[in-house]
Amino acid sequence: MGQSYRELIAWQKAMDLVMQIYKASKLFPRDEIYGLASQLRRAAVAIPAHIAEGQAYSGTDFYHFLGRARGSLVEVETEIMIAQNLEYLSVEHAQQLLAKAAELGKILNGLAGAIRPAA
């Protein structure tokens, strides 16, 4: 892969999700600033960070980093559902974020499939 990580649709979508997560978590109660809001933000930031870091490598290593990005993504999805259950996010807002996360998950799976190392 000769392209920069910034050209990858997966990285671009992940960066968009980070921005949406930061905006949404600003609405959380003040006492969650070091709790769920912080954890959600860290997990969201890890997604494009893993994609970018993995792009510096090739083959098996990049595939491994995409797996880490996918792990961070499912953490974000879980934390969005927790925020919804705690009524920090409306059902509609949570569903919008989860839809973005699902789209990113499909893109990550496609990218991982395209670079999957031979068994």
- Give the tens place of pLDDT for each residue, 29-54: 999 989 999 999 999 999 999 999 99
- What pLDDT, on a 0 to 100 scale, did the predictor assign at position 2? 57
Average pLDDT value for the chain: 94
The predicted structure's pLDDT at residue 57: 86
**pLDDT of the residue at 1:** 44
- Residue 70 has a CB neighbour count (10 Å cut-off) of 17
Question: What integer is the mean pLDDT of 90-112?
Answer: 97
List of residues 6+ apart from 88 with CB closer than 8 A: 27, 28, 29, 32, 36
User: So where are the chain's domains?
Assistant: 5-112
**Which residues, at least 6 apart from 90, have a Cβ–Cβ distance to it below 8 Å?**
84
Predicted model pTM: 0.94
Question: What token pair was written down for 113?
Answer: 């499939």
pLDDT score at 119? 66
Q: What is the CB-side half-sphere exposure of residue 79 using CA atoms within 13 A?
A: 22
> How many helices (DSSP H) and strands (DSSP E) are in the chain?
4, 0
Q: What CATH number labels 5-112?
A: 1.20.1440.60
pLDDT at residue 118, rounded to an integer: 73
**Average pLDDT of 57-78?**
95
Sorting pLDDT into bands at 50, 70 and 90, what band is 67?
Answer: very high
